[in-house]
Amino acid sequence: MPVKPHSKDFSLLFTEAAKRRKSSPLKPLLKYMLADPTLVSLGAGLPHPDTFPFIALTATVAEAGKSPVDATAARHDVSIAARAPSATTEGLERFLQYGNGRGVPSYAQFALEHTERVHSPLYDDWDVVVSAGNTDAFVKALMLFCQGGDSLIVDEWTYPAIIETVGPMDINLVPVQMDEEGMVPAALDALYENWRTAESGPAPRMAYMIPTAQNPTGATMSLQRKQAIYKIAQKHGLIIIEDDPYYYLQFGAYRPASGTADLEERYGDLPGVTSLIPSLLSLDTDGRVIRLDSFSKILAPGLRCGWITAPKYMTDKIQFHNETSVQQPAGVSQAIVSKLINEHWGHEGWERHLVQIQREYAVRRDRFVDLCHKHLKGMVEFTVPSAGMFLWFRVLLSEEMQSRPGVMQEVFDSMIANHVLLVPGHLFSPLGATPDVLSKPFVRAAFSYASLSDFETAVSRLARALAPFTGKVPDSC
Ligand code: PMP
Ligand code: PLP
């Protein structure tokens, strides 16, 4: 195997807080306990495991590749007993104990192996560190390179939690134009060409991107788009936060209802883990991509489990940050995830599970798009997403409505009056609720949560809600 180069050193760009951040003072002592099994520790104030009332933890799961509501799915018990470690997974008492901010080894090991297998980073000093999901991971990645007075590059429309995170930190959001593949490379480049340091503060050194099934637009970056963006990031010395919670929810082109009725055939080409669009991390030769992975959309959000991949000198700082905040994802969650994936499913079961999730979302996307074509003709425009859970509608307001002040608020009120909820576009604007943003005719629909049997009701209600604003007559339904 060719020798991989080292990442570039961006530590000079660390914020003052990141430069100062070091390990929580007692954590380094743990290494003595791990290194010497004969050592009697009167050091760390760990509670003795005999005080934990938990003897075993059992999670009952559906067989990999089947939905838990499928009556034909076999059920399996995944059990982790105290004081009974296996070859690959620690005993329960280990998961329930304090540890360092790197996570319990078997959980962290899965993240490491999986990242190697799927993304094969191109430099040799990459590492992973656990997170309590991408919300937690984002703020820790951000604080490595952004502090008050700095700027963060984001998409023209972006995930509201990011807007709310950086607002109180006095970090300036700089939106960049998007198209159906996400951020436009030429627009990112032009931003630097036009940047005037004196007026706007230091040029941004960090960009936040959601490359797959962007929230809210549903846009997925192609490999070519990622390559183009990466090149511009190199040109301007930009560090990228790759927030990719929908990475595994790629399901390809729209399969209309008129296509083959045989579901096995219709959904026989889902990407699994082997045919996904390569990530930004996998293109990263310099160590300038901080990738955030989350189990929220592929196991369950309440687990609060994820991991971060970046050069080790960055993941070390995030480990230290963990040690003064969440410490690590909850032990119960790490235990279930680790035992389930490492031991029970293995790589093969994990892949079958992901294909099943992809199929679940593909069926939803196809049905939702069928209904939009049926009921919303002439009322909305949208790009059919190839991943994720969102559809971004441009409402085709009639000429008369386009000039009406506050019309999008009226559209929202009309949806509520018709008993259907979508998210007003302005909530995703990094610029806030300016008059211009408020007048933009966008709304986001999530096809992830409603029951399939409620889809037609929802879309026909939406048609009724939009009719007076678009000058169209809804189909009776
Ligand atoms: N505060 C004090 C005073 C402590 O002694 C400890 C644990 N040693 C903590 C907080 C950490 O608590 P937790 O595990 O709930 O984060
Ligand atoms: N990032 C994006 C772009 C999201 O859409 C979401 C969930 O809605 C999150 C992060 C939150 O992820 P997590 O549950 O891993 O914190």
CA of 292 to the centre of ligand 2 (A): 10
pTM of the model as a whole: 0.95
Atom 5 of ligand 2 has which residue's CA nearest to it?
215
215 lines ligand 2 (CB under 6 A): yes
What is the number of alpha carbons within 13 Å of residue 378 lying toward its C-beta? Answer: 11
Question: What is the complex's ipTM, to 2 decimals?
Answer: 0.73
User: Is 279 touching ligand 2 by the criterion CB < 6 Å?
Assistant: no
- Comparing 36-50, 188-202, 223-237, the range with the smallest average pLDDT is 188-202
Look at the block and give the residue holding tokens 């189990």: 295
Q: pLDDT tens-digit profile of 327-386?
A: 999 999 999 999 999 999 998 999 999 999 999 999 999 999 999 999 999 999 999 999
> Per residue in 230-255, pLDDT tens?
999 999 999 999 999 999 999 999 99
**Measured from the CB, is residue 315 less than 6 Å from ligand 2?**
no
Residue pair 460/475 in contact by the 8 Å Cβ criterion: yes
State the amino acid at position 207 in one-letter form. A
CB 221 within 8 A of CB 277: yes
Nearest to 238, CA basis, from 122, 146, 319: 146
Neighbours of 125 (CB within 10 A): 16
Mean pLDDT to the nearest integer, 172-200: 92
The response to whether residue 158 sits with its C-beta less than 6 Å from ligand 2 reads: no
Ligand 2 centroid – CA 245 distance (Å): 6
Query: Of ligand 2's atoms, which has the minimum distance to the CA of residue 292?
Result: 15
Could you give the 3-state DSSP secondary structure of residue 35? helix
**Ligand 2 centroid to 344 CA: how many Å?**
26
Mean pLDDT of the chain: 95
Residue 30: pLDDT band (50, 70, 90) is: confident
Report the pLDDT value the prediction gives residue 33, as an integer from 0 to 100: 84
Name the β-bridge partners of 294.
306
The single residue listed with the structure tokens 């990011």 is: 162
Distances (CA, A) of 46 to 29, 96, 319, 475: 12, 11, 19, 66
Q: Is the dihedral of CA 312, 318, 322, 326 positive or negative?
A: negative
Please indicate whether residue 334, judged by its CB atom, sits closer than 6 Å to ligand 2: no
Q: What is the pLDDT of residue 198?
A: 65
3-state secondary structure of 21: coil
Q: What percentage of residues in the chain have a pLDDT greater than 90?
A: 88
- Does residue 294 have its Cβ closer than 6 Å to ligand 2? yes
- pLDDT tens readout for residues 412-459: 999 999 999 999 999 999 999 999 999 999 999 999 999 999 999 999
Residue 305's pLDDT band (cuts 50, 70, 90): very high
Closest CA to 439 of 476, 473, 401, 472: 401
Please report which confidence band the pLDDT of residue 266 belongs to, taking 50, 70 and 90 as the band edges: confident
Assess whether the C-beta atom of 469 lies below 6 angstroms from ligand 2.
Answer: no
Q: Which ligand sits nearest to residue 135's alpha carbon?
A: 2
C-alpha distances in Å from residue 360, one per residue of 62, 67, 228, 366: 15, 9, 32, 10
Say what the pLDDT of residue 43 is. Answer: 87
The reported pLDDT for the residue numbered 180 is: 96
Sequence-distant (≥ 6) Cβ neighbours of residue 412 within 8 angstroms: 422, 424, 443
CA of 45 to the centre of ligand 1 (A): 10
Cβ(367)–Cβ(455) below 8 Å: yes
The enclosing H or E element of 190 equals helix 185-193
Q: What's the rounded mean pLDDT across residues 292-306?
A: 98
Is the model's pLDDT at 299 over the cut of 60? yes
Quick check: CB of 165 below 6 Å from ligand 2? Answer: no
Lowest mean pLDDT among 23-37, 278-292, 405-419: 23-37
| Ligand 2 proximity of 182 Cβ (cutoff 6 Å) | no
Is the pLDDT at 476 greater than 70? The verdict is no
Ligand 2 atom, smallest distance to 133 CA: 15
State whether residue 205 is helix, strand or coil.
Answer: coil
* pLDDT for the residue 201: 84
Q: Indicate if ligand 2 lies below 6 Å from the C-beta of 424.
A: no
- 207 closest CA partner among 231, 185, 174: 174
Minimal-distance CA residue to ligand 2 atom 10: 134
* 39 φ/ψ angles, rounded to the nearest 5 degrees: -70, 135
Determine the Cα–Cα distance for residues 204 and 166; give it in Å rounded to an integer. 14
d(CA 159, CA 139): 13
Please tell me if the CB atom of residue 159 comes closer than 6 angstroms to any atom of ligand 2: yes
Query: β-pairing, 206-209 with 239-243?
Result: parallel
First and final C-alpha spacing in the chain? 62
Atom of ligand 2 nearest to the CA of 131: 15
Ligand 2 center–CA 135 separation, angstroms: 6
Check if the beta carbon of residue 21 is closer than 8 Å to that of residue 317.
yes
Both structure tokens of 449? 């949560």
Contact 468, 410 (CB under 8 A): no
Identify which of 266, 269, 281, 164 has the alpha carbon closest to the alpha carbon of residue 212.
281
SS3 385: coil
Neighbouring-strand partners of residue 176: 155
Ligand nearest to C-alpha 158: 2
For the Cβ of 103 lying below 6 angstroms from any atom of ligand 2, the answer is no
Residue 134 Cα to ligand 2 midpoint, Å, equals 6
Question: Which is nearest to 91 in space by CA: 330, 339, 328?
Answer: 339
Judge if the beta carbon of residue 133 lies within 6 A of ligand 2: yes
Ligand nearest to the CA of 96: 1
Residue 166's region, left for phi above 0, alpha for psi from -120 to 50, else beta, is alpha
- The stretch 107-114 carries a mean pLDDT of 96
